[in-house]
Amino acid sequence: MQDVRDRFYTLHEIVRAGRLNLSTHLWNYVIGATGTETTAKRNRLAIDRIGFRPRVLVDVERVDATVDFFGKRIRIPVTIAPVGGLDQLGRGGGMMVAKGAGLANIPFIVSSVTDQSIEQIGAAATGPKVFQLYVRGDDDFVDDHITRAMAAGYEAFCITVDSAHYSRRERDITNRFTKPWRAANSGMNFQASLAWKEIERVRRLYPDLKLILKGIATAEDAVMACDRGIDVVYVSNHGGRQLDHGAGSMEVLPEVVEAVAGRAKVWMDGGICRGSDVVKAVALGADLVGIGRLYCYGYAAAGAEGIARVIELLEIEIIETLGLLGLTGFAGLNASYLRRVEEVTPPSVLSAFPHLELPRE
């Protein structure tokens, strides 16, 4: 781990190293989105249009960035979000992500689109873990994954609900990149027909299961989720990789938080690249913030230790941001510390890293 710390002092250095270690096709898969890639750009735009209102002359010598996660204390309010095709980005896939999350003491959400089994990844985990499912089969298919995840000690079960149709990711299509993990990924008709009655069935059969719905983007659906006893409403637009011309997740977050009204936890992801992004999300009501592309850069750069280093650097940025806002932790952080501002950088998935082209000695 010390070698990775010595190599990477900043997040942009990790992004650059990840790019150098990936083929052109895989790099474009990681940074790409659907259609015009407008939703992905709006993720960053929504974040960049939020500025801070700092308070001063507060004793912030000690800042504690830890938070609660289903009764466990985690390092920062960040989780590794599910990403498909991890095995193409580096050796080990989901098991390597489990190791990286364990090193960093944060939770991870493993995608059902991975080469390793629920049990293998669960056994490799040393910290909190969540299993995420794309519904590609009937009720027995869903029940099998739930019972196996529960038996393997996963803290919660996540169902992705924003993928009724697989999007046209024109960056990959234009490059004629056929994703190897898509070949065996049949059953999209089940994903397309997924409806609230299936969520109700799962809730009824597994009352003790911590159930998460990922892909909520409106207050209306947040209310419907809470009415059905969902434990976590996960605000996400799939990193801009599903519906084109959607709103940025950070823009959607306040209306979902208001609609949930404390009846469930609220998680979010979408364009999160820096510690200040995490602080903004928590100030707007998020209990946990997911990172996707960001940890993929770390994974491609240096495997599990690269992921852990991403989290270390995020922690440094989070503590710095909290301290400069006049806070000693997340308690007391709210929207009063934010203001509306104009963005200064054209948004893109890489716009949070303005130093990528700086030469290295």
Q: What amino acid positions are annotated as catalytic residues?
A: 238
Rounded-to-integer distance, Cα 341 and Cα 198, Å: 42
Residue with tokens 């999300």: 281
**What residues contact residue 86 under an 8 Å CB cut-off, 6+ apart?**
93, 94, 96, 97, 111, 114, 296, 299
DSSP state of 131: E
Rounded-to-integer distance, Cα 246 and Cα 243, Å: 6
Rg of the chain, C-alpha, whole Å? 19
How far, CA to CA in Å, does 223 sit from each of 146, 197, 204, 229?
24, 15, 18, 10
Of 202, 260, 272, which is closest to residue 232 (Cα–Cα)?
260
How far, CA to CA in Å, does 273 sit from each of 111, 128, 276, 350?
20, 22, 8, 9
Question: Is beta strand 72-74 parallel, antiparallel or unpaired with respect to 78-80?
Answer: unpaired
CA angle 122, 125, 187 (to 5 degrees): 40
Q: How many CB atoms lie within 10 A of CB 143?
A: 15
Rounded-to-integer distance, Cα 347 and Cα 43, Å: 8
Tokens at 199, concatenated:
């969520």
